Amino acid sequence: MPREEERPQLCGLTLALAWTLLLLSLPRAGLGAAPGPLTEPCPCEDPALCRPVRGRRDFEVFVFDVGGKAWKSYDWSQITTVAVFGKYDPELLCFAHSRGSRVVLKGDVPLKNIIEPTLREAWIMKQLKLAKNQHMDGINIDIEQDVEESSPEYYALTALVKETTEAFHREIEGSQVTFDVAWSPKCIDKRCYDYKGIADSCDFLFVMSYDEQSQIWTECIAAANAPYNQTLMGYESYLKMNIDPKKLVMGVPWYGYDYPCLNLSEDHICTLPKVPFRGAPCSDAAGRQVTYKAIMGQVSSSISGSQWNTQQQAPYYNYKDADGHFHQVWYDNPKSISLKAAFVRDYGLRGIGMWNGNCLDYSGDAVAKQQTEDMWRALKVNGEKD
């Protein structure tokens, strides 16, 4: 998912008290014990739909959902997993299970809070209890915090993933534990994780192949959210770490960035204001994220129309706002996504997915319907090689 803003932390005393109370409220028999009885009845008309999804399909299509009812219009012929990053929706759970698709929790915790093994145990037991109560199929761990190599947090994070996987696999048959990583393992945004250890410790990594301009070290100019060559370099780095390709799911963006230009040159170079991020002098924080739905609603009335950058293998367009200022919007479309999907196929990765499923136009408008179908179709990678 796109990175979150830095959040203020509780003071040490308050934080310690909160974790102590949480620890006291959980079973003390260790991770081998079940996290208590279920407290929520099955919300589905057919109680069988509250059973965990078992088995594994050959190809993973991993969808993040941020709430609402857009899921009713998803292409369920493809979906294998839905990660719930919005409000829990029992209707979604029942429908997904009826299609053989897993539904998993979002897992996030400040790393300094789980350095101690007992606090990791408390967090894991809380997530496991929630998953059981909501009849869910696992958890997607989305941390995205900066970590120094060989620090206490570095080792605690790998331990957290390993222990979470062991607990979920033991307590929920067929459950799935996944972990979100940046587009490259090379300390992106200061996230210096034990990537090989984490990959070995969970079912697979969801590689967030987007926000690739989060740290701009060269010219401060607008560029693609997920440039083709840069994206592929990230996977090559993961594979060089001897991570099994079947442990990697490619995440593609169904959103783009709208950048205000300090200057827009005749050859479409958009100079950005300097907005530092984690040590880099410039970043995509100079712009704002926009959904594919919003982009498709604007591109036809832009001053440039959709343009294609052959170096980055991505589309963009320019427009002028109400105050007369130039903007440049970079995004992904079926063409750019299909190129990446071909890489998934050719290199035998575990699958593909997106942030996020809600970004398309599901209104039923004829033009929007075709655009939406084209984006879902671009995920298909099981065709013949060229």
Annotated catalytic residues are 144
Is the backbone peptide bond immediately before 356 cis, with ω within 30 degrees of 0? yes
Distance CA 229, CA 198 (A): 25
HSE (side-chain half, CA atoms, 13 Å) at 117: 4
Longest dimension (CA), the chain: 68
d(CA 329, CA 306): 10
Q: What is the dihedral of CA 128, 19, 27, 162, to 10 degrees?
A: 40
Which are the contacts of 7, defined by CB distance < 8 A and separation ≥ 6? none
- Using CA atoms, how far apart are residues 83 and 140, in angstroms rounded to an integer? 7
The interaxial angle of helices 366-377 and 334-346, nearest 10 deg, is 20
